[in-house]
Structure 1
Amino acid sequence: MLCHQEPPPLETGPFTLDDLEELLSFLNSVAADPNSCSEGSNRSTGSEDERKRRRMISNRESARRSRWRKKQHLEELTEQLDRFTAENRELKNQLYQVMNQCHLVMMENQRLRSECADLTSRLSHLYRTMKSQQLQY
């Protein structure tokens, strides 16, 4: 009696060497064992072995997908880190420029305060001079 057994469908995409070896092993075991679908206890043993093989292949495929997802997540985090690093560098540059402007404004403010004090003193001296001249006339 001819038994048609198919391996579980694998996700499309790149296969690892282990995946291919497992698939070849499965196909060879099906081709090498013509009695795998025979009567009685051989059928139940064969189906148990088949279920184990399918489970093993399924687990390997699941692990492969999990590794792929982990790799994708790591790449996303790396890209995010690069973006944040660039943004941080830009913000530091902006902060440096603002601090320089602030320093320049503070120096200008100090110069203007000093000039204001000097002019106030000169104005006060002129008022006193004018008052003394008015008193003489």
Structure 2
Amino acid sequence: MFCSDDPVHLQLLTYDELEELLSILESESPVSPNNSCSEGSNRTLSSAEGDRKRRRMESNRKSAARSRCRKKQHLEELTDELNRLGVVNRELKSRLEYAMTQFFTVQTENERLRSECASLSARLSDLHWILLAMQNHINPR
């Protein structure tokens, strides 16, 4: 890593040093330029913090991916349930329509039979009076 004391000599950075520098720049309390060439303890601390941050970010990514997967699976289950309930609903509507058709058919037949019953009762009553009249006419008291 280069030091601010050596402005002329520019040295290439290793991958670990680049990650450390990025973590320093991204951290909430960046290291001041005066401390950038400090001893190994800061480097180790920053590296540990960077590793912890990377692990946390990776864990968060995995957790988010699992969450998205669960959400997608739940949505698929809800879609399947919606389709299944749609089929059940159509079947129930069809059965209701059939039952209503049968009901109206039976209701119409029932009304016809009641009317016929009333007509036959009136005719029977008339025949009963005729029979009584004939019996009274044949056998007067």
* TM-score, normalised via structure 2 length: 0.68
CA distance in 1, matches of 2:44, 2:62: 26
Q: Return the letter of the residue paired with 2:115.
A: S
Q: Which residue is 1:92 aligned to?
A: 93
Q: Which residue is 1:26 aligned to?
A: none
Q: Which residue is 2:15 aligned to?
A: 32
Q: Which residue is 1:112 aligned to?
A: 113
Q: Return the letter of the residue paired with 2:49.
A: E
CA distance in 2, matches of 1:65, 1:104: 58
CA distance in 1, matches of 2:128, 2:58: 103
CA distance in 1, matches of 2:86, 2:112: 39
Q: Deviations over 1:58-78 (max 9, x none)?
A: 111111111101101111111
3-state DSSP of counterpart to 1:49 = helix
1:41-52 equivalences under 5 Å are 41-52=42-53
Q: Which residue is 1:62 aligned to?
A: 63
Q: CA deviation at 1:128?
A: 1.4
3-state DSSP of counterpart to 1:33 = helix
CA RMSD of aligned residues (A): 1.9
Task: Tell me the matched-pair count.
Answer: 105
Q: Deviations over 1:1-56 (max 9, x none)?
A: xxxxxxxxxxxxxxxxxxxxxxxxxxxxxx8338x9x9422111111111111111
CA distance in 1, matches of 2:42, 2:136: 137
Relative contact order, higher structure (CA 8 A, sep 6+): 1
Q: Return the letter of the residue paired with 2:94.
A: N
Structure 1 gap segments, 5+ residues each: 1-30
Q: CA deviation at 1:134?
A: 1.3
Q: CA deviation at 1:86?
A: 1.0
* TM-score, normalised via structure 1 length: 0.70
Q: Which has the larger radius of gyration?
A: 2
CA distance in 2, matches of 1:83, 1:33: 55
In percent, how many aligned pairs have the same letter?
50
Q: Return the letter of the residue paired with 2:92.
A: L
Q: Where in structure 1 do 4 or more consecutive aligned residues deviate above 6 Å?
A: none
Q: Which residue is 1:74 aligned to?
A: 75
Q: Which residue is 1:19 aligned to?
A: none
CA distance in 2, matches of 1:133, 1:52: 117
Structure showing the higher helix proportion among its residues:
1
